[in-house]
Amino acid sequence: MRRQLGLKTLLRMILIFCTFNLLAASETRSSSSYVFNRSLLVELEYTLLPLGDIQPQGWLRHTLEAMRDGMTGHLDELWEDVGPNCGWIGGSGPAWERPVYWLDGLVPLAYILNDQKLINKGQKYIEWILNSQREDGFFGQVEDTTRKFGENEHYLAYVEKMKEDWWPRMVALKVLQSYYDATVDQRVIDFMLKYFKYQQANIEEKQLDHWSHWSKTRGGENLASTSTVPSRLEWVNII
């Protein structure tokens, strides 16, 4: 219960007490564009550098290029769970965390190497995720409650039931954060804020363990994503 209340409290702090505008983005990175905690969060002495600010060389670049040329850069061609039919690009496959786990590594790799082919590959998934958001803030696949399953279709029934689980969306938010750090695409902040409003409205009825134990066990990752939003915004009006 403490985990549920912690999430709801943080969401309320962000969504009720403040309205804001996105920080103006500079086309060229500078120290003034680095993101530190502000407002409601504890001030940090250090911060992560934006993706792409440091260009790897030597053995490190060789290792990253090996990942690009190996399974990381081609997993969608080798494993159907993350391929064109997966649930995180509009396919009919499961909406497990597997595809977004992959993207959580693919997207940073693409921007660190500034590899346009890899960027384009990840962008297809990101665009689907952003465009899947409903008016109420929920995103991703939606359970088809009208679908009927036979006696031998227990697995399919389970897959359908789990489509709206909180847990895979926690990983998807991490992917979007990496994408935002590399591109400063305002759609991401708008998207995340809208989703957190959905969570705030539904977390009491559908708590973190409503669908699976994973959401409750890994709920801290949701909190981490929630806390990044005010760090990337300039507060302009305190209610």
Are 198 and 205 in contact, with CB atoms under 8 Å apart?
Answer: no
Could you tell me the sign of the dihedral formed by the alpha carbons of 210, 216, 218, 222, in that order? positive
Q: What is the pLDDT of residue 213?
A: 67
Per the DSSP assignment, residues forming a β-bridge with 20 are 235
In eight-state DSSP terms, residue 54 is S
Structural tokens at position 36: 């530190």
Please state the domain extents for the chain: 2-238
The runs of H, that is alpha helices, within 16-133 are 58-69, 71-78, 98-113, 116-131
CA distance 175 to 172: 5
Are 163 and 141 in contact, with CB atoms under 8 Å apart?
Answer: yes
One digit per residue, the tens of pLDDT, for the chain of length 239 reads 555 555 655 555 555 444 333 333 333 344 445 655 555 566 767 777 888 888 899 999 999 999 999 999 999 999 999 999 988 998 888 788 889 999 999 999 999 999 999 999 999 999 999 999 999 999 988 766 676 767 776 666 656 666 678 788 889 999 999 999 899 899 999 999 999 988 888 888 777 776 676 766 777 777 777 777 665 554 333 33
In eight-state DSSP terms, residue 48 is P
Q: Which of 162, 173, 161 is nearest to 198 (CA)?
A: 173
Q: What is the pLDDT of residue 10?
A: 55
Q: Virtual CA dihedral for 105, 106, 108, 110, nearest 10 degrees?
A: 160
Are 3 and 219 in contact, with CB atoms under 8 Å apart?
Answer: yes
